[in-house]
Structure 1
Amino acid sequence: MNRETTNRIRFIIEDVIPPILRDSRLFKGMASLAWGKHIAHLAEFRARAPFLSAREYEDLYRRHPRVHEGTDNSEACVRKIAASIAGDSVCDVGCGTGVLLKRIRAANPEVKRLTGVDFAIDDAARIEGVEYHAAMIQDLPFADGEFDTVVCTHVIEHILDYRKAISELRRIARRRLIIVVPREREYRYTFNPHFNFFPYTHSFLRAVHPVPAEHECIDIGRDIYYREDKALAV
């Protein structure tokens, strides 16, 4: 299944079905027909978020079914990101299978250094010419301003301390930071292990406060694309 299909499904689930039904046992029962007991595990996972151990966190993500083929990004988001790369070094934090890095390289042949980071790089496609690092987003093993462009897609919604994560992304970005998160509402029973929910673009702008003067925050088919630029010293 691709992102465009899940976004159409999300429209029905999030915008058409009223909250009183979304949080009901009836919805839980219907969702269980598709995902079994995992739908209840996800609800418990969010409820216990402040008390989860690192092992519990990692175990759930390893067991969580892969919904999308290759990447969680829609084609429109991929094209937007690839066209927004600045400089000749790029780091994709939360690189997953490495598909986005491959698209970035194809659209930006002038990029000399491509780096992928994930808390577990088992899924990485090991694309030739890409260096991979296993690390948590809250503690990235790079120097300040090490990369011209830092990209982070479909990660912030999973991070309990998302402000620390955003701070780390900003720290290693020299020129540009690009973040993509789903535009979605929170309900008791959802099909993903998200902690943070941003129903509007201005919801995400609050999350990245303070927002620099040079920025862009737009809705791309139920996903929020955010870009900020740093003022370079002369």
Structure 2
Amino acid sequence: MNRETTNRIRFVLEDILPPFIRDSGAFRWAAQRVWGAHITHLANFRERAPFLSEKEYAELYRNHPRVHEGTDNSVACIRRILGSIEGETVCDIGCGTGALLSRIQSAHPDLHRLTGVDFVIDDASRLSGIEYVAAKVETLPFADAEFDTVICTHVIEHILDYRRAIAELRRIARRRLIIVVPREREYRYTFNPHFNFFPYTHSFLRAVQPVPSVYVCEDIGRDIFYSEERGAAD
């Protein structure tokens, strides 16, 4: 299933179904017919978020069924990302399978350095010319302003301490920071292990305070694309 399809499904589940149905035992029962007991595990996971051990956190993500084919990004978001890259060094935080890295490498073959980071890099395709680093977004093993462009897609919604994560992304970005998150509402029963929910673009702008003077924040097919210029003044 691709991102465009799941976004259409999300429109029905999040914007058409009333909240009292989405949070009901009846919805859980119906969702279990498709997703199994995992739908309940996800609800419990969010309820226990402040108390989870690193082992529990990692195990849930390892066992979570993969919904999308290769990447969580839509074609429109990928196109927007590729057109927004600045400089000769790029780091993709939360690289997953490496699908976005592959697209970046093809679109920008002259990059001097292309790096992928994830806290579990077992799924990465290990493409030639790309370095892979296992690390958590809250504590990145890079120097200040080490990369011209830093990209982080479909990660912030998973991070409990997301402000610390955003601070780290800003710290290592020299020229541009790009973040993509789903535009979605929170309900008790969902099909993803998300902690943070941003139903509007201005919801996300509150999360990235302080917003610099030069930025872009727009809705692209139920995903929020955010980009900001980095520099000494920021």
- TM-score class, shorter-chain normalisation, is over 0.9
* Cα separation, 1, equivalents of 2:213 and 2:105: 28
SS at match of 1:116: strand
C-alpha contact 1:97 1:125 (8 A) present in aligned 2:
yes
TM (normalized to structure 2)? 0.98
C-alpha contact 1:90 1:150 (8 A) present in aligned 2:
yes
C-alpha contact 1:93 1:150 (8 A) present in aligned 2:
yes
Deviation track 1:137-190 (CA, whole Å, cap 9, x = no partner) reads: 000000000000000000000000000000000000000000000000000000
Deviation track 1:51-97 (CA, whole Å, cap 9, x = no partner) reads: 00000000000000000000000000001001100000000000001
Matched with 2:223 is 223
% identity of equivalent residues: 72
* Cα separation, 1, equivalents of 2:231 and 2:174: 9
User: Is residue 206 of structure 1 aligned with residue 221 of structure 2?
Assistant: no
Residue 228 of structure 1 aligns to which amino acid in structure 2? E
Give the Å deviation of 1:231: 3.1
C-alpha contact 1:175 1:232 (8 A) present in aligned 2:
no
SS at match of 2:171: helix
SS at match of 1:71: coil
Residue 29 of structure 1 aligns to which amino acid in structure 2? W
Give the Å deviation of 1:106: 1.2
Matched with 2:170 is 170
C-alpha contact 2:163 2:207 (8 A) present in aligned 1:
yes
SS at match of 2:174: strand
Alignment of 1:80-229 (within 5 A): 80-229=80-229
* Cα separation, 2, equivalents of 1:139 and 1:64: 23
* Cα separation, 2, equivalents of 1:18 and 1:11: 12
* Cα separation, 1, equivalents of 2:55 and 2:93: 20
Matched residue count: 233
Give the Å deviation of 1:108: 1.4
Give the Å deviation of 1:112: 1.2
C-alpha contact 2:215 2:227 (8 A) present in aligned 1:
yes
Give the Å deviation of 1:119: 0.2
* Cα separation, 2, equivalents of 1:105 and 1:84: 14
C-alpha contact 1:82 1:104 (8 A) present in aligned 2:
yes
Give the Å deviation of 1:110: 2.3
Deviation track 1:19-55 (CA, whole Å, cap 9, x = no partner) reads: 0100000000000000111000000000000000000
Residue 194 of structure 2 aligns to which amino acid in structure 1? H
* Cα separation, 2, equivalents of 1:25 and 1:40: 10
User: What CA RMSD, in Å, does the superposition of the two structures yield over aligned residues?
Assistant: 0.8
C-alpha contact 1:83 1:107 (8 A) present in aligned 2:
no
Residue 197 of structure 1 aligns to which amino acid in structure 2? F
* Cα separation, 2, equivalents of 1:127 and 1:104: 12
* Cα separation, 2, equivalents of 1:60 and 1:96: 15
TM (normalized to structure 1)? 0.98
Identify the range of structure 1 (109-118 vs 211-220) with the bigger mean alpha-carbon deviation.
Answer: 109-118
Query: Unpaired segments of 5 or more residues in structure 1?
Result: none
Query: Unpaired segments of 5 or more residues in structure 2?
Result: none
C-alpha contact 2:170 2:230 (8 A) present in aligned 1:
no
